[in-house]
Amino acid sequence: MLRKNYKRSGSQEGMRFASKRGQVAVFVILALVIVAVVLVIAFYPKIKLPGGAGATPDPQQYLTTCLEPFVHSSLERLSRQGGMQEPLGFIVHNDTKIPYFCYTSEYYKPCMVQQPNVVGLFSRELGQAVVNEARTCVQNFKEEYEGQGYTISTSTVALNVSFAPKQVNVQLLAPMTITKEFSKTYTSTDLSFESSMYDLLALAENIVSFESTYGDSETTLYLRYYPNIRIDKLRLGEGSKIYTISDVITGEHFTFASRGLAWPPGYAL
């Protein structure tokens, strides 16, 4: 009987001891939480959490989102007329001015290349087409974050556009300094957008080279190496041809004209 009472008493003492230890642990955790809250209150807003309200505004993400729709719409519009805003030396087809990239006014002779650097031409024209929208995006970025207490100083805005495989790159030359309890300066911002236009322009240059050398091109040869590419060649008479190169996956296209090895009326092959 004494042994049973002893076991019962020891068990109760152990439970009381464990209970006290649990209470002490709870008090320690509460104390740590209180200390942490006091530190946050004391040092906020000096403590900056990554990606939180104290993070530096990201001009690259903002400007990419702002400019992307206009870049793609400008690509679509310019690609219908050889990448040019105001074509010179063109043929009108379906109310669209399509420039001659290879041309001769004489009969029986191959054409002469009019645009030796199609990629560079389109890059410059696209830059001119989107520069005003880029300035608007920079101004919107400035106004939005100044409304959140930032001080943002900006300068002039210029663009460098280049095509690369699977993308078009826009280097936005817009120096700016962002200040709010810190200061960060950007001399330029690099943006990139998905596009298959580089491959289409490279094929256009190759076709122009064949046209100037042989007076024509065999478009089916390209399909062996570019299964996603479609090339339509429309003959309009007197040596004029309109080429449309398309990517059947992305839906992008590029159109230009050529005139060579022309025959006088009544002497067609």
Strand partners, 184: 178
Helix residue ranges, H only, 147-269: 197-214
Residue by residue, DSSP assigns 114-126 as: S-S-HHHHHHHHH
Mean pLDDT calculated for residue range 76-94:
95
Q: Looking at the 3D structure of the chain, how many domains does it have?
A: 1
Answer yes or no: is 242 within a domain.
no
Answer yes or no: is 20 within a domain.
no
Residues of the domain holding 67: 59-80+117-196
Answer yes or no: is 67 within a domain.
yes
Which residues lie below 8 Å from residue 70, measured CB to CB, with a gap of 6+? 130, 133
Using one digit for the tens of pLDDT, what is the confidence trace for 3-30? Answer: 444 444 454 554 454 455 555 555 556 6
CA distances to 136, 140, 148, 235 from 145, in Å:
14, 9, 5, 55
Other residues' Cβ atoms within 10 Å of the Cβ of residue 127 = 18
Answer yes or no: is 237 within a domain.
no
The whole-model pTM stands at: 0.76
Answer yes or no: is 85 within a domain.
no
Confidence at residue 44, expressed as pLDDT on a 0 to 100 scale: 45
Q: Report the sign of the C-alpha dihedral through residues 84, 85, 91, 93, in that order.
A: positive
- Please state, in angstroms and rounded to a whole number, the distance separating the CA atoms of residues 208 and 202: 10
- Please state, in angstroms and rounded to a whole number, the distance separating the CA atoms of residues 69 and 72: 5
User: Amino acid letter at 27?
Assistant: F
CA distances to 5, 11, 173 from 2, in Å:
5, 14, 92
Other residues' Cβ atoms within 10 Å of the Cβ of residue 200 = 27
Helix residue ranges, H only, the chain: 2-43, 59-79, 118-146, 197-214
Answer yes or no: is 157 within a domain.
yes
In degrees, to the nearest 5, what angle opens at C-alpha 117 toward C-alphas 112 and 123? 140
- Please state, in angstroms and rounded to a whole number, the distance separating the CA atoms of residues 30 and 23: 11
Using one digit for the tens of pLDDT, what is the confidence trace for 127-145? Answer: 999 999 999 999 999 999 9
Mean pLDDT calculated for residue range 81-96:
95
Distance of CA 209 to the CA centre of its chain: 30
**Residue 45 binned pLDDT confidence (cut-offs 50, 70, 90):** very low
- Please state, in angstroms and rounded to a whole number, the distance separating the CA atoms of residues 97 and 114: 16
DSSP letter (8 states) at residue 82? T
Using one digit for the tens of pLDDT, what is the confidence trace for 174-230? Answer: 999 999 888 899 999 999 999 999 999 999 999 999 999 998 999 988 888 889 999
Answer yes or no: is 2 within a domain.
no
Answer yes or no: is 268 within a domain.
no
- Please state, in angstroms and rounded to a whole number, the distance separating the CA atoms of residues 135 and 18: 69
